Structure 1
Amino acid sequence: MRKKIKLLSVILCVLALTGCNKSSQNELTISVATSLLNPINEIIKEYENENNVKVNINFGGSGTLKSQIENGADVCAYFSANEKFMDELVEKNMVKEDEINVPISNSLVLIKSDKCKYDIKSLKDLLKYDITMAIGQIDTVPAGQYAKESLEKLNIFNEIKDKLVYGKDVSAVKNYVETSEVDLGIVYKSDSLDLKSSQVVLEIPKNLHENINYTLAPINSSEDGKKIIEFINSKYSKKILREYGFLINE
């Protein structure tokens, strides 16, 4: 009898371990632009509840995330804050062009620290004062690229580039302004909805930069990625994205 009980215990233990291993394998990873942090956290939480799966979200600058994917990161879907980086993955045969979604878009705003006393009514007013300003890193952060493009269109980038501080992502730019480490910063409008120690001083005209379209695609035609993307494109998810200030592309 004792032998039978011992054998049964061993079998139950093996089954338990097998179940744990199966559960631990039921995990996915997606890479998402930092500007989408709040809505994607909310959306993926619901996706996990509905699908009994753990989704790890790798947030960062879109260019940094793209480089990680190119270097073999185990990612099933990529949500970029621009079209350029997604196109580069198409060229590397890691994304199929006909699987790319463009679900949302955004715009840029200039925010000012509450401690900054300069009267800024246009981007050209940046030349009037001894300001410090943060933008995203130009090589990896789309918001930084759009900001530079806007300043160049007004022929003022070279005149103020020595006053610029570069953030690793748009959240870092926002934080620099909120903590008064810099006077001003250029961020997405969606990031300006919950400012505590700064304010929006102007919206940057859309004709100064390329359209800010977010692109979403599965990596290597991942079926898991396609399923997550389908959920992000659902009415439920788009409602959340709209609430966080993103423009829905119909």
Structure 2
Amino acid sequence: MMGRRDWLTRLALALGLVLSGAGFTPVSAAERVTIFAAASLKSALDAVNAEWKRLTEGDVTASYAASSALAKQIEQGAPADIFISADLAWMDYLAEKNLIKADSRSNLLGNRLVLVSANADAGPVDIKAGLDLAGLLGNGRLTMGAVDSVPAGKYGKAALENLGLWPMVSDRVAGSESVRAALLLVSRGEAPYGIVYQTDAAADPGVKMVGTFPEDSHPPIIYPIAITADSASPDAAAYLDFVRSPEAAPFFQAQGFTVLE
């Protein structure tokens, strides 16, 4: 009688005949692949993982949080196979501690930084030097990721500083544990405006994107991906190949990400 591993191997070979020409050759995926990914990736990566499961019948699970929190968990021994950060700094942090496989690392995605409001009648905001951002907030607060740790918060602070807007709102910022937590505060009406990624704004019908930050006002928003040094999953490399393949790209693009080489 054919065992599960043998059956999955045959499935992989069959799928490989169909998809190998597109840059991804499925393999047996009987072992679980555990992904630690930035919170802003949830909508897109859930779709990518569903497609991976459909093609391989493999077991994949994802944990979403701020890149800083996930990197610290990996440092403390959390059993992750793949790490996708929302900035280069936290991937560098793990690399310096030899906690990722350096030859597996690449830059996966790009994103944009935007200003959102829950007010459907909110007008467009031209984000530039001289903007009266404090006046725009009124008596409310500006929500964003924690500026000392969460990538979206760090990008947001850098943009506000470069535009000369940080001094007028620094004491009005409500820092959140992740960019999705900041988004939720706006969506619930607990903050009049928030700074999030373009992809987050697209994922929540409860908010309206009212302005986009100039790309040169902050460091490029890059999502690197790598296999962790302690990964024991025999399918981590195949999953990594799939996430970087043409088959996965449309799922990221549908959420507004830019797929990098």
| TM-score bracket relative to the smaller structure | 0.7 to 0.9
- Matched residues in 2 for 1:115 and 1:200: separation? 10
Which sections of structure 2, spanning at least 5 residues, go unmatched?
1-29
Q: 1:124-183, CA deviations, whole angstroms, 9 ceiling, x for partnerless residues?
A: 220334241100012331111100111111222132111111121111111111111001
Q: 1:11-62, CA deviations, whole angstroms, 9 ceiling, x for partnerless residues?
A: xxxxxxxxxxxxxx83231101111101111111221233333212111000
8 Å contact kept, 1:219–1:225: no
- Matched residues in 1 for 2:251 and 2:123: separation? 35
CA RMSD between the two structures: 2.0
Deviates more, 1:219-228 or 1:76-85: 219-228
- Matched residues in 1 for 2:230 and 2:117: separation? 42
Count the aligned residue pairs: 226
Q: 2:62 aligns to what SS in structure 1? A: strand
8 Å contact kept, 2:145–2:176: yes
- Matched residues in 2 for 1:119 and 1:46: separation? 37
8 Å contact kept, 1:112–1:199: yes
Which sections of structure 1, spanning at least 5 residues, go unmatched?
1-24
Say whether residues 1:186 and 2:195 are aligned partners.
yes
- Matched residues in 2 for 1:193 and 1:27: separation? 30
Matches within 5 A, 1:47-62: 47-62=52-67
Shift of 1:115: 6.7
| TM-score, normalised via structure 1 length | 0.84
| Cα pair distance change 1:203/1:181, threshold 3 Å | same
Residue of structure 2 aligned with 1:218, choices 212, 220, 227:
227
8 Å contact kept, 2:124–2:210: no
Deviates more, 1:69-78 or 1:162-171: 162-171
Larger Rg computed on CA atoms:
1
Matches within 5 A, 1:85-234: 85-114=90-119, 120-122=125-127, 124-129=131-136, 130=138, 131-220=140-229, 222=231, 223-234=234-245
The structure in which a higher percent of residues are helix is 1
Structure 1 partner of 2:82: 77
8 Å contact kept, 1:63–1:139: no
